[in-house]
């Protein structure tokens, strides 16, 4: 069993937030791979799917971002999965919009969802960093991540979620570098090689 986790906050008022891009990717993976209906489990919403022959649990913690680790730890204990089997999708301020990087372990860069998961599960899980850009001023970060994507941003957000979903089988098989490369090529092919940060003049 692989555990794919998307981070975000529950509730319609947060659904379009930059902080919720992890939820958006989980929804697209579930749609593309005909996952079972979402149901309440592990202090979150969970769905099972078979992706390229691999059994996968998709998880959206409903504990609010700061307590995401409680949900992830519950699912990890239930399925007895290792840290190598956990992949967390989250928003990343330090990457330009529409960019993606994957890594294992490392620092949490002030991300409260990652901090909570590390506290509950330790640090060496896999992370898919979904670039949302930085507002340019540290004082604006909180309001920036909790504000909705602008209408002009939605096309690249949807394309990034689709690219992740299309290549999710590579993650399920542990082929992280190939997954990252496939998503990069897909986004480049759709014209997203250089996305301007919101509010920045091109």
- Is residue 145 a contact partner of residue 18, using CB atoms and an 8 Å limit? yes
Catalytic residue among 19, 43, 90, 111: 19
Determine the Cα–Cα distance for residues 40 and 94; give it in Å rounded to an integer.
32
19 is catalytic: yes
Q: Which of 66, 143, 72 is nearest to 112 (CA)?
A: 66
Catalytic residues: 19
């Amino acid at each position: 069993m692989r555990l794919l986790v998307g981070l975000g906050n529950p509730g319609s008022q947060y659904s379009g937030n930059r902080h919720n891009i992890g939820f958006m990717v989980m929804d697209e993976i579930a749609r593309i791979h005909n996952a079972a209906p979402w149901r309440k489990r592990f202090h979150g919403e969970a769905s099972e799917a078979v992706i390229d022959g691999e059994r996968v649990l998709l998880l959206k913690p409903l504990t609010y971002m700061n307590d995401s680790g409680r949900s992830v730890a519950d699912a990890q204990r239930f399925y007895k999965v290792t840290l190598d089997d956990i992949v967390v999708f989250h928003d990343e301020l330090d990457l330009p919009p529409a960019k993606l990087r994957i890594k294992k372990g490392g620092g949490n860069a002030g991300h409260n969802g990652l901090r909570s998961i590390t506290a509950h599960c330790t640090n060496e899980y896999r992370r898919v960093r979904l670039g949302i850009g930085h507002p340019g001023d540290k004082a604006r970060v909180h309001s920036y991540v909790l504000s909705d994507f602008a209408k002009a941003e939605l096309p690249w957000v949807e394309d990034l979620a689709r690219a992740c979903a299309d290549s999710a089988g590579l993650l399920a098989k542990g082929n992280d570098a190939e997954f990252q490369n496939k998503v990069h090529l897909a986004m480049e092919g759709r014209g997203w090689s250089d996305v301007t940060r919101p509010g920045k003049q091109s």
